[in-house]
């Protein structure tokens, strides 16, 4: 793993211009313009450079600019050999410029090659290329040894500093991209969760309402087949109609719940018990407001339990107990038991399973099973 560090490229985010501020872009173009100006000045300012020599120098400057552009493009794509070839050609042009008498242009090009190599190449290649460029610079420079060494060290430090700065900018760009991706994923997850919640609310309301209607309509069908009295059939049809109206009201209430506008839980349970008949409710503990999800779980569990009593033990007495505890709210529904109704076999049996899944999503639990006399459903939801 440590050996790979020396052959590791700077990240593409570090090598690209993405994330550069306008001021930094302006500074970068200013430096490039100054370097190009120095090269042109080196091509034309020397007294002996005139005529064809000046034209060849200008052509060399243009070729150097093209090779520099190629070097930046190939390093951005992490193409090592193409990058080294561009850098080598630039140093050859610098050597040709030195031999042709364009000393200033040659020194500028060697310094630029060293800085660019340290900034954009893998460490092994960067050190080798920079050593060649700085060695050539030191060999042809007319300053004393100490000045040349200090200048070379400064150039190397400048290239390394630019590399660190680019890597820091690249890391910031990657973190920003990851943060954006995380926000998008979070938004998508929230949207999916909200869709699932809406689907669960609509499903629970319709399942409860339609199941209750089915109870009465199936009873009416059986009465018709057995020649039951007209009043009994009428009662069942009227009850189914009332359940349809109740289902519509519950659907509206579910939509209100999705908007965060719920009636108090105790009022809802009292109304539910009043419609059921033969049921009573007791509320204990310190009453307090519950979250929308917890309140809906209690409401749906109570509805499902009462529907099951009508289906499986018609006429049984039902006792509901809502207990507010310090860290949870508990709903206990018990019926007195009775003979199985004629509609015991109707329905798919998914009601309690759906209630259990809803409770578990909230970190609670739902238990259902035979009690001392009838059937017991106990819901626990943390608050």
Q: What is the pLDDT of residue 321?
A: 92
- Higher per-residue confidence, 345 vs 62: 62
**pLDDT band (50, 70, 90) for residue 323:** very high
Distance between CA 295 and CA 26 in Å, rounded? 59
Distance between CA 257 and CA 251 in Å, rounded? 10
Residue 185 has pLDDT above 70, yes or no: yes
Q: Counting every residue, how long is the chain?
A: 383
Distance between CA 268 and CA 274 in Å, rounded? 10
**Scanning the structure block, which residue is given the tokens 């005139």?**
50
- Higher per-residue confidence, 343 vs 130: 130
**pLDDT band (50, 70, 90) for residue 346:** very low
Q: What is the pLDDT of residue 324?
A: 92
Distance between CA 126 and CA 113 in Å, rounded? 10
- Higher per-residue confidence, 226 vs 346: 226
* Residue 131, helix vs strand vs coil: helix
Distance between CA 224 and CA 231 in Å, rounded? 11
Among 70-84, 150-164, 331-345, where is mean pLDDT lowest?
331-345
Torsion (CA) 59, 63, 68, 69 in degrees, nearest 10: 110
Those residues with Cβ within 8 angstroms of residue 229's Cβ, 6 or more apart along the chain or in another chain = 223
Task: Quote the percentage of the chain above a pLDDT of 90.
Answer: 6
Residue 63 has pLDDT above 70, yes or no: yes
DSSP type of residue 48: T
**pLDDT band (50, 70, 90) for residue 81:** very high
CATH number of 263-383: 3.30.565.10
* Residue 326, helix vs strand vs coil: coil
Among 126, 16, 103, 116, smallest CA distance to 57 is for 103
Task: Provide the CB-side half-sphere exposure for 155 (13 A, CA).
Answer: 25
Predicted confidence (pLDDT) per residue in 6-49, tens digit: 888 888 877 777 766 677 666 666 766 776 666 566 555 554 55
User: pTM score > 0.85 for this model?
Assistant: no
Distance between CA 227 and CA 170 in Å, rounded? 83
Listed by start position, the domains of the chain span 2-142, 263-383
Residue 348 has pLDDT above 70, yes or no: no
Distance between CA 119 and CA 327 in Å, rounded? 59
**pLDDT band (50, 70, 90) for residue 257:** low
For residues 196-223, give the mean pLDDT: 75
Residue 177 has pLDDT above 70, yes or no: yes
Q: Are 133 and 155 within 8 A, CB to CB? A: no
For residues 100-117, give the mean pLDDT: 81
């Amino acid at each position: 793993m440590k050996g790979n560090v020396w052959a590791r490229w700077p990240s593409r985010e570090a090598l690209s211009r993405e994330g550069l501020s306008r001021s930094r872009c302006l500074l970068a173009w200013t430096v490039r313009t100054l370097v190009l100006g120095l090269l042109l000045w080196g091509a034309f300012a020397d007294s002996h450079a005139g005529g064809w020599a000046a034209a060849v120098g200008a052509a060399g400057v243009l070729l150097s600019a093209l090779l520099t552009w190629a070097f930046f493009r190939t390093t951005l794509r992490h193409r090592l050999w193409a990058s080294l070839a561009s850098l080598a050609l630039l140093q050859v042009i610098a050597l040709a410029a030195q031999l042709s008498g364009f000393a200033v242009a040659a020194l500028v090009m060697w310094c630029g090659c060293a800085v660019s190599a340290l900034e954009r190449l893998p460490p092994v290649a960067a050190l080798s290329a920079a050593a060649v460029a700085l060695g050539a610079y030191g060999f042809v420079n007319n300053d004393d040894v100490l000045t040349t060494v200090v200048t070379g060290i400064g150039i190397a430090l400048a290239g390394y500093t630019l590399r660190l700065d680019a890597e820091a900018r690249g890391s910031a760009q990657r973190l920003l991209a990851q943060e954006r991706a995380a926000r998008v994923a979070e938004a998508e997850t929230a949207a999916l969760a909200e869709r699932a919640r809406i689907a669960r609310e609509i499903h629970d309301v319709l399942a409860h309402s339609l199941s209750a209607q089915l109870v009465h309509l199936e009873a009416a069908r059986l009465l018709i087949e057995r020649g039951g009295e007209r009043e009994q059939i009428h009662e069942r049809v009227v009850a189914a109609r009332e359940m349809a109206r109740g289902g519509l009201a519950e659907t509206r209430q579910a939509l209100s719940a999705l908007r965060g506008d719920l009636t108090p839980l105790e009022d809802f349970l009292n109304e539910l018990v009043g419609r059921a008949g033969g049921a009573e409710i007791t509320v204990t503990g310190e009453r307090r407001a519950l979250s929308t999800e917890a309140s809906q779980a209690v409401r749906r569990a109570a509805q499902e339990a009462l529907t099951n009593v009508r289906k499986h033990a018609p006429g049984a007495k039902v006792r509901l107990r809502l207990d507010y505890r310090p860290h949870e709210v508990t709903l206990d529904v018990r019926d007195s038991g009775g003979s199985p109704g004629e509609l015991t076999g109707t329905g798919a049996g998914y009601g309690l399973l759906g209630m259990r899944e809803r409770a578990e999503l909230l970190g609670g639990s739902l238990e259902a099973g035979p009690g001392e006399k009838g059937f017991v459903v106990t819901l626990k939801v943390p608050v």
